[in-house]
């Protein structure tokens, strides 16, 4: 009952906020600031890529030093956290580069910018293939799959122990719930933007809807068939 109450209050507030936004008119649309956005997002992507590469080198350097006692634990903890940071920087860099390339292509910008954005996408994509190698550097004694292995994700999950799976389950379940919420939020924002700017985002709304249905179906089918 308490949850229903919160949901109801949220829905009422949400309705009035969206209703108020629908009356607003966006003075500037994405199309008008596309050139600036290309440089900003491309720059952010490049910075994140450089940070990820620095992190990779730091991990590789530290992994080769032989330590004992408490120092070995401290190094392992540092490596684990650094690997997470590098993964986040690398993945974010790839997403920013894809957005940059999309903006360049959609808004018909200079060919040089298109080449720059394409190279950025390729570099960030290539950096994600370094991650499995990095894991092998960090844990040489473990039987980890090669990046080129078929069913890499499945094999990586199989080689994880119960503690790692426990941590992953917590993280993924939280992420799954927030993905559902954020994508619904994105649909609302796109609707508001479409109405206010008179630039239809219906296709994007439709795709997000399909993604929502797909991920929920995948999750339910996965747990239902066990």
Which residues are at the interface with other proteins (CB under 8 A)? 68-70, 72-73, 76-77, 80, 139, 141, 160-164, 166-167
Q: At what angle do helices 69-106 and 130-138 cross, to 10 degrees?
A: 180
For the chain, the C-alpha Rg in angstroms (whole number) is: 22
Return the number of the residue (6 or 77) whose C-beta is nearest other proteins: 77
Return the number of the residue (72 or 198) whose C-beta is nearest other proteins: 72
Q: How near is the Cβ of 173 to other proteins at its closest, in Å?
A: 15
In sequence order, the 6+-apart residues with CB closer than 8 A to the CB of 149 are: 155
Return the number of the residue (61 or 77) whose C-beta is nearest other proteins: 77
Q: How near is the Cβ of 172 to other proteins at its closest, in Å?
A: 16
Neighbour tally for 55: CB within 10 Å: 20
Return the number of the residue (36 or 143) whose C-beta is nearest other proteins: 143
User: Are the CB atoms for 130 and 49 separated by under 8 Å?
Assistant: no
Supply the DSSP symbol for 30: G
**Assigned token pair, 58:** 């730091």
Q: How near is the Cβ of 161 to other proteins at its closest, in Å?
A: 4
Provide the sign of the torsion angle of the four alpha carbons 107, 111, 113, 115, taken in this order. Answer: positive
Neighbour tally for 49: CB within 10 Å: 22
Q: How near is the Cβ of 225 to other proteins at its closest, in Å?
A: 24
Return the number of the residue (149 or 164) whose C-beta is nearest other proteins: 164
The residue length of the chain stands at 226
Q: How near is the Cβ of 82 to other proteins at its closest, in Å?
A: 14
């Amino acid at each position: 009952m308490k949850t229903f109450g919160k949901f109801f209050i949220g829905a009422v507030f949400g309705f009035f906020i969206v209703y108020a936004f629908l009356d607003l008119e966006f003075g500037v649309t994405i199309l008008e600031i596309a050139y600036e956005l290309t440089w900003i997002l491309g720059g952010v992507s490049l910075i994140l890529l450089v940070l990820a590469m620095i992190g990779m080198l730091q991990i590789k350097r530290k992994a080769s030093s032989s330590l004992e006692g408490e120092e070995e634990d401290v190094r392992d903890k540092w490596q684990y956290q650094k690997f997470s940071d590098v993964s986040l920087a690398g993945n974010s860099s790839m997403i920013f580069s894809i957005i940059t390339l999309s903006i360049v292509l959609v808004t018909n910008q200079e060919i040089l910018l298109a080449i720059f954005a394409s190279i950025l996408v390729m570099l960030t994509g290539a950096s994600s293939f370094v991650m499995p190698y990095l894991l092998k550097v960090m844990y040489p004694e473990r039987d980890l799959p090669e990046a080129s292995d078929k069913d890499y994700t499945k094999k990586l999950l199989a080689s994880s122990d119960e503690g790692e799976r426990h941590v992953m389950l917590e993280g993924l379940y939280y992420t799954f719930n927030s993905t559902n919420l954020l994508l619904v939020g994105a649909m609302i924002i796109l609707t508001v933007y479409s109405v206010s700017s008179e630039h239809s985002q219906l296709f994007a709304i439709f795709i997000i809807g399909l993604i929502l249905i797909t991920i929920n179906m995948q999750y339910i089918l996965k747990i239902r068939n066990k």
